[in-house]
Amino acid sequence: MTRRAPILSLRLDTLLLSASAASLLVIHFAIGNGYGFHRDELQFLYDARHLQWGFVAFPPLTSFCARIAIALFGISPQVLRIPAAITNAISLLLTGLIAHELGGRRAAQMLALAAAFPACLLLSSVLQYNTFDLLAWLTVSLFAARLLRTADLRNWLGIGLGIGIGVLSKYTIAFPAAGLLAAVLLLPSQRHALRSRWFWLGGLVATVIAAPNLLWLAQHHWITLQMEHSIHLRDIRLGRGNGFFLDQLKFTLLAFPLALAGLVSLLRSARHRLLAALYLGPLVLLALMKARGYYLVPGYPVLYAAGAVALERTLAQRPAWLRIAARSALLAAFALNTAAVVWTYLPIWPVGSPAWNWQMANNSDMANEVGWPQFVAQVAAVRDTLSAADREHLGIVANNFGEAGALDLYGPEFHLPTPISAVNDFHARGYGAFPPDPVIVVGSNLTNQLKNFQTCSVVAHTILPYGVRNEETDDEPQILLCRHLRYAWPEIWSRVQEFG
């Protein structure tokens, strides 16, 4: 890549990129309610209504944005997902602007945006911390690219901003930050940054933004890191990181050649080599850790931008027909990527249709959006079989965060008691104002609960609409009625913190 003067039409470029990125918002308002809340969204929704500077399972930014949305517009899947749609639209804009900073004209900027579109579309379909993680990585990448173009060391403040946002979003921001720091130390052309006050002020910006969450972590015995360590060991045990490198093809599909071209282009450029570290650093670290493949998804937009600019440079002296044909072929490939995401991951199909049935059978995320109100109704039906005396002291125990979140959200409609759960942040709520007895237990099985209660029996099984099968129907479908806990509630509650 060669350096060239800043593009004078930045304002128009930004306008065109913004208009293209806004198509995500159009799609969101067309299908935002989907099939219902995703299991993970029920956890974010619960935390959004109980805000603090950190949560057991994740940093606070995702639930904070969810709180703003539901405070303004009420609670529904479409409302909860508004922050995801807006944030991913911004991420698309940043991808195009990275291409701009690398010297790309509008065609290259739009090509980079089109390559990143399927991933952003997927992340917009549910509210997840991955959305804000992508924004953080792209903020770091944009200011790093601007730093290399302008040699203005004040851009380290923007890099610090991105890292700070990342800490509040998902702690995997540590991987691109580590890659960037390693590149500054190893590349002779970048070591001068260490002597600049702007480099250290950028670190201060990141620290100030992240400080409330870091203080919360310290006050809570670094529980989120304990949780992530536990989940990581579980993933290794289940082999979820075994396909890490194949996953890179899965998550890029037909855009992989463009990403590879972008990586080669960055490595060959003395000026822009620093940007390659934002991908290679996380790639190496995540592979060594046997992490799940999707953790690297935020590293690809900068490669798409570099690849699009490299292609533009390669085609510059070619005939017009060849330039048009090459760009058209890539846009067609990215359109196929988008179609694959829409078919597989977006809640667009009529319930009960063949395509819907295919999604339910082949995509666990889709199956996890179906049946939560009906699940709560089945728990309420069990409650209705109890005597008035039993109802007065009834407790409902949920053994995973999806069930706990669903009971917390839909339970009041059925006049159910506040659910009890030891999972993640539900644990801090405790078991209620009195030791409950009897207890309806979901998300477990009779064998396990007979170890905890003197008497326990299966009184129902979870059945979801249209025969949908997920964790509730396949793993732990039994709905149990249990009496007389074998241990004192305060004693057992002090040692049952669970992660999920």
Is the domain of 177 the same as that of 226?
A: yes
Residues 182 and 241 in one domain: yes
Give the pLDDT band (50/70/90) at residue 496.
confident
> Is the preceding omega at residue 319 within 30 degrees of 0, hence cis?
no
Q: Which of 275, 98, 262, 103 is nearest to 184 (CA)?
A: 275
Q: How does DSSP assign 262-297, residue by residue?
A: HHHHHHH-TTTHHHHHHHHHHHHHHHHTT--GGGGG
Q: How far apart are CA 198 and CA 104, in angstroms?
A: 27
CA gap 244, 179 in Å, rounded: 19
pTM of the shown model: 0.93
Distance of alpha carbon 50 from alpha carbon 215, whole angstroms: 18
Task: Look at residue 214 and tell me if it is in a domain.
Answer: yes
The answer on 471 and 422 residing in a single domain is yes
Q: Are residues 111 and 257 in the same domain?
A: yes
Same domain membership, residue 126 and residue 17: yes
The amino acid present at 409, given as its one-letter code, is: L
pLDDT tens readout for residues 129-170: 999 999 999 999 999 999 999 999 999 999 999 999 999 999
308 within some domain = yes
Q: What is the 3-state secondary structure (H, E, C) of 13-36?
A: HHHHHHHHHCHHHHHHHHHCCCCC
Under 8 Å between Cβ of 399 and 500 = no
Into how many domains does the chain fold?
A: 2
Residues 279, 97, 3, 185, CA torsion sign: negative
Of 464, 493, 459, 499, residue with least CA distance to 479: 459
pLDDT grade for 32, boundaries at 50, 70 and 90:
confident
In a domain, 456, yes or no: yes
Q: Are residues 390 and 328 in the same domain?
A: no
Q: What is the pLDDT of residue 352?
A: 87
28 near 78, Cβ under 8 Å?
yes
Residues 139 and 277 occupy one common structural domain: yes
Say if 480 falls within a structural domain.
yes
pLDDT in tens, 110-135: 999 999 999 999 999 999 999 999 99
Q: Supply the Cα-derived Rg of the chain in whole angstroms.
A: 25
Q: 414 lies in a domain?
A: yes
Range of the domain at 420: 372-493
3-state SS class at 450: coil
Q: State whether 340 and 376 are in the same domain.
A: no
Do 334 and 396 reside in the same domain of the chain?
Answer: no
Instruction: Round to whole Å and give the CA distance between 84 and 123.
Output: 7
Q: Are 162 and 271 members of one domain?
A: yes
Only one residue has tokens 């004078």, namely 8
**Judgement on whether residues 319 and 423 belong to the same structural domain of the protein:** no
Mean of pLDDT over the chain: 94
Token output for 332: 């067609």
Q: Name every residue whose Cβ is closer than 8 Å to that of residue 454 and which is 6 or more positions away in sequence.
A: 483, 484, 485, 486
Q: Please give the Cα distance from 86 to 8 (Å, whole number).
A: 27
The pLDDT, as a whole number, for residue 495 is 86
**pLDDT at position 2, please?**
42
Residue 362: its H or E element = helix 354-362
Q: What is the mean pLDDT of residues 469-498?
A: 92
pLDDT at 35: 93
3-class SS of residue 496: coil
Query: Could you tell me if residue 485 is inside a domain?
Result: yes
**Domain assignment present for 361:** no
Q: How far apart are CA 99 and CA 309, in angstroms?
A: 6
Is residue 127 included in any domain, yes or no?
Answer: yes
- Same domain, yes or no: 429 and 302: no
Tens of pLDDT, residues 278-316: 999 999 999 999 999 999 999 999 999 999 999 999 999
Residue 8 has pLDDT above 80, yes or no: no
pLDDT at 4: 44
Write down how long the chain is: 500
